[in-house]
Amino acid sequence: MLFFTQCFGAVLDLIHLRFQHYKAKRVFSAAGQLVCVVNPTHSLKYAPTRCAAAQTSTEQGVLPPCHHHEAVHDPQLVPCTCPLFSCPWEGHLEVVVSHLRQNHRINILQGAEIVFLATDMHLPAPTDWIIMHSCLGHQFLLVLRKQEKYEGHPQFFATMMLIGTPTQADNFTYRLELNRNQRRLKWEATPRSVLECVDSVISDGDCLVLNTSLAQLFSDNGSLAIGIAITTSKVHNTEAEM
């Protein structure tokens, strides 16, 4: 009976994922779009990270303590860019993608336009939904976070980070689109580099921000479908604004 129950539960989970996939395809019917069903992960890192500690110390006018071993660090090494964990890993920018995939099991999709389907939006904050998006010869990190910026008032923050330098990030434009029940909401901006802190981007509000009531307008049975499109800045500048 235990074996049967476990197998039956797995089948139900598979049917649920297929149903979520079908709903996303129904909402975003553009040909060629890929749908990625992303399950939530409760962030394990909401203790002060190196990035957050440095930002707080700077705001207070105090530089972080300089330990003797830090002086010999290779300046080309970057810390782990995964916003979910306080990961001590450091490495070169070229191996960040392999680290995220192997150590943090973050999925990657390819294509200029994809659909990011975040499930279980009702879960309490803080919660993150994360995927990597590969297109135009580069890799991007999409982060959707549910977080209480003000106590008792959770909000959703969505941003796109280029796994590259700020100079490279300036060459691209990303668009996030919500479309449901004859309502459409778009956010368009230049992606930030993963060399910057995701926490800082969210704190500054330089991203798509949804309050709970607005997120519910675009959600379907607790899932939120976000259409993602990435273009180069040159192509974007020549397009007619709608």
pLDDT in tens, 164-208: 999 999 999 999 999 998 899 999 999 999 888 888 898 889 999
Q: Is 120 left (phi over 0), alpha (psi -120 to 50) or beta?
A: left
pLDDT classification of 84: cutoffs 50, 70, 90: low
> Which pLDDT score, from 0 to 100, does residue 113 have?
87
Higher-pLDDT residue of 65 and 229 is 229
178 strand-pairing partners: 185
Whose tokens are 């071993």? That residue is 69
Give the DSSP H or E segment for 137: none
Those residues with Cβ within 8 angstroms of residue 139's Cβ, 6 or more apart along the chain or in another chain: 97, 108, 132, 133, 162, 163, 164
Domain regions of the chain by residue span: 33-40+78-232
Q: What angle do CA 54, 172, 41 make, to 5 degrees?
A: 55
Q: Cis before residue 166, ω within 30 degrees of 0?
A: no
Q: Does the structure show a pLDDT above 90 at 5?
A: no
Candidate CATH numbers 2.30.30.60, 3.90.180.10, 2.60.210.10, 3.30.230.10; the one for domain 33-40+78-232: 2.60.210.10
Bridge partners for 79 per DSSP: 90
Backbone angles phi, psi at 57, to 5 degrees: -65, -35
Q: How would residue 117 be classed by pLDDT, with cut points 50, 70 and 90?
A: very high
Q: Is the pLDDT of residue 65 over 70?
A: no
- pLDDT over 60 at 242, yes or no: no
**What is the signed CA dihedral for 119, 120, 125, 130, rounded to 10 degrees?**
-20
Q: What is the pTM of this model?
A: 0.71
Average pLDDT over residues 63-91: 62
Q: How confident is the model at residue 234 (pLDDT cuts 50, 70, 90)?
A: low
Residue 131's Cβ-count burial label (10 Å; 0-12, 13-18, 19+) is buried
In this structure, the chain runs to a length of: 242
> For the chain, first and last CA: distance in Å?
59
- Amino acid (one-letter) located at 233: S
CA distances to 5, 82, 90, 147, 149 from 204, rounded to whole Å, are: 47, 19, 25, 14, 11
62/12 Cα distance (integer angstroms): 54
Average pLDDT over the chain, rounded to an integer: 76
Centre a 10 Å sphere on the Cβ of residue 23 and count the other Cβ atoms it contains: 17
C-beta of residue 172 within 8 angstroms of C-beta of residue 231: yes
CA distance 31 to 128: 28
Residue 160 has pLDDT above 90, yes or no: yes
pLDDT digits (tens, 9 = 90+) for 11-44: 555 454 455 545 544 444 443 457 788 888 776 5
